[in-house]
Amino acid sequence: MSEIDKGNRRRPAAAPVAAEFAVDSPDDLTGRLQEAGYLVPRSLATATFLALRMGKPLLLEGDPGVGKTELALALSRAFGAELVRLQCYEGLDMAQAAYEWNYPRQLLQIRLAEARGDSGSSDVGDLFREEFLLPRPLLHALDASAEGPVVLLIDELDRADEPFEAFLLEFLADFQLSIPELGTRRALRRPPVVITSNRTREIHDAIRRRCLYSMVDYPSADRELAIILSHLPGIEKRLAAEVTAFVSELRAMQLFKRPGVAETVDWCTALYHMNKTSLDPETVQETVGALLKYEDDIERADSETVAQLIGRARTHVATGL
């Protein structure tokens, strides 16, 4: 067979997407996610809808705290699915990501066989059986997809080493894993996969080609206000509006780490517990640790700067901007 013929051979049919994730349109998905507590912008809703329809992984990039991971959590809540999370880190390898063998049990099996005097039996020779296999997130997602809906979150892929991405290629292309001792395990129903990256390094093109892509930015002021009100329905709307405008002004400063939506919600929660109805410089200084997480950033937000930001925030609120 020629190399061209080899290249033209048809790939096995992809596993179908689980029926539980069927949605009619981006608007339908937006409503489902909103019921699950996630307010999604139109562009992200469309990308997620297409990823579900096409059975492709969804790669989300953006600064920490903009809601990338929360989208996967919201999908699992919206569709009653199990969330399987693979948290990436430097040094992550196949044993932690896909599967490993239960070596203590295998060793015990050998010791028991030796104690019975049958060290040459097939029980000792066949130590790579299903009962000795320890599924990790990737294999668990493949197996669990046969029993019910699953959402797989591969979180902060940019923190893993580049060689780990090569291992992911087979999984993302065919939703299967090769276990030399047992053969190939393949998803009966293709689970939705959300991959996140904080852009601390570039994700390889081979991964990007297998995914649909969406850049997740900080929300608009109106959407961030809506997020705050959905998380804290008892908060004064004026306070929430002032916080939203204040944080928007703060993000325009030269900060080491701009506050994300999660920090904005945490800060509002702190102000809510302090029974505040509007911002004032003293309260901001006392609670800024809920919003800014680095000393250099806190030093930049000195009393004079805070007073100016509060003034501009109140102007925005008063003029309805």
Residues 190 and 314 in one domain: no
pLDDT digit string, tens, across residues 21-78: 989 999 999 999 999 999 999 999 999 999 999 989 999 999 998 999 999 999 999 9
30 and 81 share one domain: yes
| Number of structural domains in the chain | 2
What is the dihedral angle through the alpha carbons of 14, 15, 16, 17, rounded to the nearest 10 degrees?
Answer: -110
Same-domain pairing of 171 and 208? yes
Q: Is the pLDDT of residue 6 over 50?
A: no
Q: Final residue of a domain: which of 184, 215, 246?
A: 215
This prediction's pTM: 0.85
74 shares its domain with 146:
yes
Q: Evaluate whether residue 260 is within a structural domain.
A: yes
Q: Both 303 and 284 in a single domain? A: yes
Query: Distance between CA 78 and CA 72 in Å, rounded?
Result: 10
Last residue of a domain, one of 187, 215, 243: 215
Tell me 165's DSSP state: H
Structural domain boundaries enclosing 255: 221-319
Give yes or no: residues 314 and 249 share one domain.
yes
Q: Taking Cα atoms as reference points, which of 130, 150, 132 lies closest to residue 140?
A: 150
Which of 174, 195, 215 is the endpoint of a domain? 215
pLDDT score of 3: 35
Give the tens place of pLDDT for each residue, 282-321: 999 999 999 999 999 999 999 899 999 999 999 988 887 5
Residue 14 shares a structural domain with residue 93: yes
CATH number at residue 81: 3.40.50.300
Same domain, 94 and 171: yes
- Let me know whether 233 and 175 are in one domain: no
User: How high is the pLDDT of residue 13?
Assistant: 46
26 domain residue, yes or no: yes
CA distance 51 to 74: 15
State whether 148 and 28 are in the same domain.
yes
- With a CB cutoff of 8 Å and minimum separation 6, the contacts of 315 are 321
